[in-house]
Amino acid sequence: MTGFIRFIGIFNIAVWVGGSVFFSFLAGKVFFSPEVTQFTPPPYNGLVAQAMLERFFLLHYICGILAISLLLLEWFINYPQGAFPKRAISYIGILILLALIGGKLISPNLNVWHQQKYQFRIKNEGSPPMIESKSYNKEIRQNAKLKFSVWHGVSQTVNLIMLIMLTYHFWKLVHPSNQNQLQTYSQKKRNLFSE
């Protein structure tokens, strides 16, 4: 049973890392490529990218919750022998927190600044098209451009940190023997010096 849970955990982290790498380095740039902007020019390409970004953060939430659930399940099954995986759960918790910061704090603000920058607003109801023009004064537009640039950079930095953390976690999952060997070596060293 533990082997199956471990397999699901590795599969989950592989999907998580793969989805992150695919979106960050391949899919995310497509919306702003010349081929796409011919059919969906600004600001429409930005709206499509934002919709895709919502799915990207959803991937993080689902994989993170599944990872914590699997850790808890594995601990519950091996309860008498195994220690509570607080370090691993904390690590995944930080990843989920970073995803929440990106998806629930930064991304909604980027949406607002994007609308101000291109002078439109999204309608909540009515018939398509769901965007309508709205004029903002020059100061609001310039402020929106600056904030969008700065916070887009922050968002990309958070994404890069998450990707590095995910890759490290993936490495740890598929190479548990390194950790076991290190613990065994440390224990032998302690025993040697305590005699």
Query: In 10 A of CB 68, how many CB atoms?
Result: 18
CA atoms within 13 A on the CB side of 195: 5
pLDDT value, residue 193: 53
Give the phi and the psi of residue 122 in degrees, each rounded to 5. -90, 130
pLDDT value, residue 194: 57
pLDDT value, residue 91: 96
pLDDT value, residue 186: 47
pLDDT value, residue 133: 81
- Which mean pLDDT values do the consecutive 10-residue runs of the chain (195 residues) have? 86 96 92 90 89 95 97 87 88 97 95 92 76 86 95 95 95 72 49 54
pLDDT value, residue 168: 94
Identify the three-state secondary structure at position 60. helix
CA distances from 191 to 38, 109, 178 (A): 69, 56, 20
Residue written as token pair 């979106």: 23
